[in-house]
Every structure is written in structure tokens, then in C-alpha cells.
Amino acid sequence: MGKRQKPFKPGHGYTKKDWDNVQSPELTASQIARAKPFAEAFPELAASIRRGRGPNKAPTKKLVSLRLSGEVLEAYKAKGPGWQSRIDADLRRINKIK
């Protein structure tokens, strides 16, 4: 196995000197054979950092297909992520739904 080092990229909270001072010897075949997936080695930690909302036990929204004009869609998307929720909130306000 040849030694491959990633190139240094500034802006990640460490200096080029820090980067160059890190020593990471290659793993032996024995070490690789004993390696476990992160979630198996640290199940509690893996569970605590898992992303996602998880199962929706009591769904409050329904999936529908809706055709909107391009102008309306672009106006909502232009305001950034969460445009679907903003459409929902505006429709609730117009229809006086809490």
C-alpha cells in the first residue's frame, strides 16, 4: 500500500503546520481485520448523532400532488429552504385554520 495523504485545505480550524504534524501510520492487516463499523463499536454515540426525524408515528400531513404556477413556486423557493412549510402556513392563514 502506498502512502496517500489528502492535500491541506485551509479554513477548517487548523493550520498547515498542525496538518503536517499529524502522524498516521498505516494500519496493519491485523488491525484492519479487527476493525468494526462505527455504529457497532459505539452504538449509543451513533444513535445520538443519527440524522433524520425518525418514523412519523402520528402523521399530521398528507402527501399530495399539486400544480402551482411557475411564478408562485419560484417566489417561495427564492426565500430559501422550507418553502413547502411556508405555502402550508399561508394556506392555513388564508383559510383561517389553526
The tens digit of pLDDT for each residue in 22-64 reads 888 889 999 999 999 999 999 999 988 877 666 777 778 888 9
Q: What is the mean pLDDT of residues 60-72?
A: 91
pLDDT at 54: 67
pLDDT for the residue 34: 94
4 vs 77: CA distance, rounded Å: 42
More confident residue, 4 or 84: 84
**pTM reported for the whole predicted model:** 0.42
Could you give the C-alpha distances from 33 to 4, 23, 40, 93, in angstroms and in order? 21, 22, 15, 59
CA 4 to chain centre: 27
- pLDDT value at residue 23: 86
Rounded to whole angstroms, the Cα distance separating 5 from 39 reads 26
